[in-house]
Structure 1
Amino acid sequence: MNQVPPEALAAPAPQAAARVLVAGVGNIFLRDDGFGPEVARRLASESRLLTSDVRVVDYGIRGMHLAYDLLDHVDVLVLVDAVPSEPAPSLEDPGQSGSAAGSIRVMRIRAEDLDGRAALDPHGMNPAAVLGRLRTLGGELPTTYVVGCVPADVSEGIGLSDPVSAAVPEAVSAVVSLLARHAPVNPSVAA
């Protein structure tokens, strides 16, 4: 996995529109693991993002559903999920380690980052396994990013912890920046 440099987030949109899938993943019954679904819910209400080239879906823990949707001509995938802490610097604050709860990390995923042997659980969501098994299902990994947040609490319960809840707007902004590179903003509602 490669950290995405901050200047790449501000790059201009390409001339040809791409089919983009924004996938919120995670289990809402494990507190901060519900980060991806919450960001997807907020993004789905952003009418300026809802063009014919962008789909925002809350997959929750439906890994097989995500795998099959990726077989339907997706050029760019933006996964939004809880991610483990890392010592690597955060893109939003290069001085921050990226390990504090609520830290946002934006990463680019390439095929060589994935283990194609990972077991795909039809009743669960392991994004690395879903992406790693795409080739065996007849697909190819699209241009893929992860917008992740370091969780504070993944115990049983509903609702995000305070630091992760406070990070949702920052994650929405990071996704919007990635979308600006790959899909046009809906001109009828552009601000």
Structure 2
Amino acid sequence: MMPDSLKYEILVFGCGNVIFADDGFGYEVISRLEKMELPKNVGLIDAGTGAPFYLMSLMDESCITKKIIIVDIIDFKLPPGTLKILSINDLSKIKKYTFDAHDMPLSNYLIKAKNAGMDVVIVGCQAKRVTTPDIEVGLTKEVKDSLDDAVKLVLQELSR
């Protein structure tokens, strides 16, 4: 049975871990979106490092989700804080999507979602510092300064 948190036409997943500096970007974007009035068909999920588990649940035939928006840090060697909209085809260029901390590649589930007919978009932010395994809570200034624009990008994606 599918969890109620996944029973939306559009799902926005904030990925990452708040205890590893800029890896908390996804959480921060979701936190801002939670304070807004969004359409009733939009669900917000602070997925942390568990996005593969949520995405597995979406493979249920009773799933009504038509669009998935992933919000996460990326490493494309861009200036820190740079935002980039990525498609499913860009996933192979993102190391953490090939193997995450739990050895469950997120990209496999996103590709399955796309093949099941869901629209998949990634709102990525170039990280400046990810401290794994050392703990550092809080975003760098560059990534923190990109949060408002990241929220705007998600809101634009919701209306497409």
> Structure 1: how far apart are the matches of 2:53 and 2:32?
21
- Residue 159 of structure 2 is aligned to residue 177 of structure 1: no
| Alignment gaps of 5+ in structure 1 | 1-17, 87-98, 182-191
- Deviation of 1:127 (Å): 2.7
Of residues 55, 58, 70, the one that matches 2:46 is 58
Distance 1:126 1:141 in 2: 20
C-alpha change, 1:122 and 1:34, in structure 2 (3 Å) is: closer
Paired AA for residue 42 in structure 2:
V
Say whether residues 1:145 and 2:124 are aligned partners. no
- 1-structure distance, mates of 2:101, 2:141: 32
1:101 aligns with one of 76, 80, 85: 80
Higher helix share: 2
Instruction: Give 1:150 deviation, angstroms.
Output: 0.2
Question: Where does residue 6 of structure 1 map in the other structure?
Answer: none
- Between Structure 1 and Structure 2, whose CA radius of gyration is higher? 1
CA contact (8 A) 2:88 2:110 kept: no
Unaligned regions of 5+ residues in structure 2, if any? Answer: 1-7
**1:159 partner amino acid:** G
Distance 1:125 1:81, change over 3 A: farther
CA contact under 8 A between 2:49 and 2:101: conserved in structure 1? no
Distance 1:171 1:124, change over 3 A: farther
- Per the TM alignment, residue 53 of structure 1 is displaced from its structure 2 partner at its CA by 0.9
Amino acid paired to 2:45: V
Percent identity between the two aligned chains: 27
Runs of 4+ in 1 over 3 A off after TM superposition: 118-126
TM-score between the two structures when normalised by the length of structure 2: 0.76
Give the C-alpha shift of residue 121 in structure 1: 6.9
Deviation (angstroms), 1:45: 1.2
- With normalisation by structure 1, the TM-score equals 0.65
Q: Aligned residue pairs: how many?
A: 142
Residues 46-65 of structure 1: CA deviation (Å, up to 9, x unaligned): 11x1x331001110001343
User: Which residue of structure 2 lines up, in the alignment, with residue 158 of structure 1?
Assistant: 137
Question: Structure 1 residues 39 and 119 mapped into 2: Cα distance closer, same or farther (>3 Å)?
Answer: closer
Alpha-carbon shift at residue 149 of structure 1 (Å): 0.2
Instruction: Indicate the SS of the match to 1:23.
Output: strand
In structure 1, give the amino acid aligned to 2:23. Answer: D
CA distance in 2, matches of 1:33, 1:107: 17
Amino acid at match of 1:63: A
Looking at structure 2, the residues matched to 84 and 124 of structure 1 have their Cα atoms a distance apart, in angstroms, of 19
The two structures, once aligned, show a CA RMSD in angstroms of 2.7
The answer to whether the 8 Å contact 1:101/1:150 transfers is yes
Give the CA deviation at 1:176.
Answer: 0.4
